[in-house]
């Protein structure tokens, strides 16, 4: 019996395309944290019905980027002080463990790649935007090489949420240089294959980032 010819797989469903557009606007701060999302206006702008818009908002709500409020609609999520603190705590646990594992099992070539990415951090100063990009690339590469896909997904979601934080740690005066010094120390410990030092240095890196975020926001700093 001849099988019927299968139709080609469709590209992204419409609601996924809508979700990506909304995600881009949120990440680009075209839709600020706390902003109400005018579904009708966006549907008219993009020439779509409300069904794919609602499905897209469900996707972004599951990612944490959108908050649905009963009888009030959808809003771009605002990160509370507690949200930021808990996100930093989880990132510290997940990324310090990944870096410690990698310091043991990474090849010399893989460590060399991380060293090249670190050089982008060195070259980025004092350009904050370039430093942001290089910093994210460095951290993502550690996770990619270490290879735990579940960890990568969780960290990706957390880092996406952290971009909603109005008081990013690297906004604080002097934090870029401090962060660079911390990266140097982490990379040196990885090159020395000192897993325990790597773990502690990465944990301290995130703790310092949290303190800088709280100082930028004018919030009280936790006891050291």
Q: What is the pLDDT of residue 28?
A: 85
Q: What is the pLDDT of residue 163?
A: 84
Q: What is the pLDDT of residue 79?
A: 87
**85 plus 175 within the same structural domain:** yes
Q: Residue 120: how many CA atoms within 13 Å on its side-chain side? A: 16
Chain-centre distance for alpha carbon 114: 19
> Dihedral sign, CA of 30, 217, 187, 148?
negative
Alpha carbon separation from 66 to 6, 41, 53, 163 (Å, rounded):
37, 17, 13, 13
Domains contained in the chain, number: 2
Measuring CA to CA, which residue among 186, 180, 103, 185 is closest to residue 145? 103
In a domain, 7, yes or no: no
In a domain, 204, yes or no: yes
Contacts of 176 (CB under 8 A, 6+ apart): 125, 126, 128, 131, 170
Report the C-alpha gap between 183 and 203 in whole angstroms: 12
Beta strand residue intervals within 2-135, DSSP E: 66-69, 73-76
The CATH number assigned to the domain holding 68 equals 1.10.10.10
Q: What is the pLDDT of residue 7?
A: 46
Domain that residue 56 falls in: 14-76
Q: What is the pLDDT of residues 38-78, one digit of tens each?
A: 999 999 999 999 999 999 999 999 988 999 998 899 999 98
Longest distance between any two alpha carbons in the chain, whole Å: 73
Query: Phi and psi at residue 86, in whole multiples of 5°?
Result: -70, -35
Domain boundary among 50, 76, 102: 76
Q: What is the pLDDT of residue 168?
A: 65
**Residues in the chain with pLDDT < 70?**
1-11, 166-173, 217-224
> How many helices (DSSP H) and strands (DSSP E) are in the chain?
9, 2
Report the C-alpha gap between 59 and 16 in whole angstroms: 8
**183 plus 126 within the same structural domain:** yes
Q: What is the pLDDT of residue 38?
A: 96
**59 plus 109 within the same structural domain:** no
| Reported pTM | 0.79
Q: What is the pLDDT of residue 166?
A: 65
Residue 89, both tokens: 């705590």
The CATH number assigned to the domain holding 145 equals 1.20.120.530
């Amino acid at each position: 019996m001849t099988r019927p010819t299968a139709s080609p797989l469709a590209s992204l469903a419409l609601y996924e395309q809508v979700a990506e557009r909304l995600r881009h606007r949120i990440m680009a701060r075209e839709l600020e944290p706390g902003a109400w999302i005018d579904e009708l206006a966006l549907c008219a702008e993009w020439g779509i019905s409300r069904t794919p818009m609602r499905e897209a908002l469900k996707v972004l709500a599951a990612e944490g980027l959108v908050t649905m409020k009963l009888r009030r609609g959808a809003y771009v999520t605002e990160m509370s002080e507690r949200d930021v603190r808990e996100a930093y705590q989880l990132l510290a646990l997940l990324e310090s463990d990944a870096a410690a594992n990698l310091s043991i099992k990474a090849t010399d070539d893989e460590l060399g790649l991380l060293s090249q990415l670190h050089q982008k951090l060195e070259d980025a100063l004092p350009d904050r935007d370039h430093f942001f990009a290089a910093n994210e690339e460095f951290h993502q590469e550690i996770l990619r090489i270490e290879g735990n896909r579940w960890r990568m997904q969780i960290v990706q979601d957390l880092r996406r949420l952290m971009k909603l934080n109005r008081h990013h740690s690297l906004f604080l005066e002097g934090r870029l240089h401090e962060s660079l010094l911390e990266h140097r120390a982490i990379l040196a410990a990885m090159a020395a294959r000192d897993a325990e030092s790597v773990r502690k240095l990465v944990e301290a890196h995130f703790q310092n980032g949290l303190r800088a975020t709280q100082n930028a926001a004018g919030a009280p700093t936790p006891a050291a």
